[in-house]
Amino acid sequence: MSSLYRVMFVCTGNTCRSPMAEGGLRKLLENRGIKNIEVYSSGTTAASGFPATAYAIEASRIWEADITRHHSRPLTADLIERSDLILAMTPQHCYDIIRMLPEARDKIYLLKNFPERGCEGEGIADPIGGSLDMYNQTFIEIGEELGRILPEIIERVSKKAED
């Protein structure tokens, strides 16, 4: 059993929302000195190896989150299986993950719903092709969610460590 708790964010192309969420959560964990949580991301239709968009990188600097070394990767059954918690940016992403690996349903959540179950609800809009201001707004929206859910994630990590 791994002592790491693994959190994966999922969006479409893995160049905007999920890398921003990954960078934001990593920064929050770093600020608290928490080292036993691995954070990564993927995309439901992502190609491999693309960097985060320039605006996603710039917007992430709001929290001094560095995503300059990010490389996109497609969502796979293996990534789903190894994750303890999967946070989807939209209802469609949530359903796509469940469709890929139905037995993982219990660890898949819509980001804005977490910790409540279910894929229905409000998603995080895709800023791709938008202005830097749109990316900044998206990052702030993701950041608010990360701040809201961090205590629950930390609690789940503690529970896993006790198991």
Which one of 6, 84, 126, 156 is the catalytic residue?
A: 126
Handedness of CA 28, 114, 130, 16 (dihedral sign): positive
pLDDT over 90 at 1, yes or no? no
User: What percent of the chain has a predicted confidence (pLDDT) above 90?
Assistant: 93
Annotation marks residue 17 as catalytic: yes
| pTM (2 d.p.) | 0.96
User: What percent of the chain has a predicted confidence (pLDDT) above 70?
Assistant: 99
Which one of 17, 26, 73, 156 is the catalytic residue?
A: 17
pLDDT over 90 at 124, yes or no? yes
How does residue 2 score in pLDDT terms, banded at 50, 70 and 90?
low
pLDDT over 50 at 131, yes or no? yes
- Mean pLDDT, residues 25-50 taken together: 97
CATH fold of 5-162: Rossmann fold (3.40.50)
What single-letter amino acid sits at 33? G
What single-letter amino acid sits at 73? R
Annotation marks residue 126 as catalytic: yes
Q: What does DSSP assign to residue 49?
A: S
- Selection from 43, 20, 33 nearest residue 132 by Cα: 20
Contacts (Cβ under 8 Å, ≥6 apart) of 11: 17, 18, 41, 43, 44, 88, 89, 90, 93, 124, 126
What's residue 4's pLDDT? 92
pLDDT digits 0-9 by tens, 48-105: 999 999 999 999 998 899 999 999 999 999 999 999 999 999 999 999 999 999 999 9
- Selection from 157, 161, 147 nearest residue 25 by Cα: 147
- Mean pLDDT, residues 33-47 taken together: 96
Q: Where are the domains of the chain?
A: 5-162
What's residue 159's pLDDT? 86
